[in-house]
Amino acid sequence: MYSFKDNYFMQRERLVNEQLKPLGIQDPRVLKALCEVPRHLFVPEDYRDLSYEDSPLPIGYNQTISQPYIVALMTESSQLQPFYKVLEIGTGCGYQAAILSRLCKEVYTVEIIEPLARKAQQTLESLKYTNIHVRIGDGYEGWPEEAPFDIIMVTAATESIPLPLINQLRVGGKLIMPIGHESGQQLVRITKTPAGIEEEYLALVRFVPMTGQVEK
């Protein structure tokens, strides 16, 4: 695993103490993960100096790395346990998967844009994240052969909840995702119960739209 006591460690601590804690992120495990994972190695070199600002950054192919607060909020809202198996839809650069991997047993992450998936896998392997599995494919379909999942996290917006993802969630599991148009989205936490699903609205957000099967 990457040694997090690098030249950027104080910037990560400052981000946590001056940005994330005042915004309400409280879970010490989540804050520790944000201090440990080297976000600057997941962004293009042109943006490296901005790595520890609380803002999204472009990573190519009209995609972004989410702002640290949103990463922290989605992670905290997942209420992860060390034995959980997590499915992430939208690998991007791999940063969110790296955060998740420090708080659960296994992360399965799907990315539809092949160059992003390959770059993310390369970065994660170079940093020795051994419990993250990357697949190139349409996230709408999930990863059925590894289901059921305790948590499913979607990092792209849709107007409705993809049914395959609900089917791959265990009863009692949670799906965290943005719902809505690009101009207006709600971050939603969906809990699967024996009787159906329960929805909680967490925050107003703005994510790139999901592509692939969901567009048809």
Active site residues: 66
Q: Is the dihedral of CA 78, 70, 42, 152 positive or negative?
A: positive
Apex 116 CA angle, 32 and 191, nearest 5: 55
* Residue 158 to residue 166: CA distance in whole angstroms: 14
Query: What are the beta bridge partners of residue 153?
Result: 88, 176
CA 123 to chain centre: 16
Q: Calculate the alpha carbon distances from 214 to 138, 161, 162, 163 in Å.
A: 9, 10, 8, 10
**Is the distance from CB of 67 to CB of 92 less than 8 angstroms?**
no
Structure tokens of 214?
């969901």
* Residue 157 to residue 155: CA distance in whole angstroms: 7
* Residue 201 to residue 207: CA distance in whole angstroms: 15
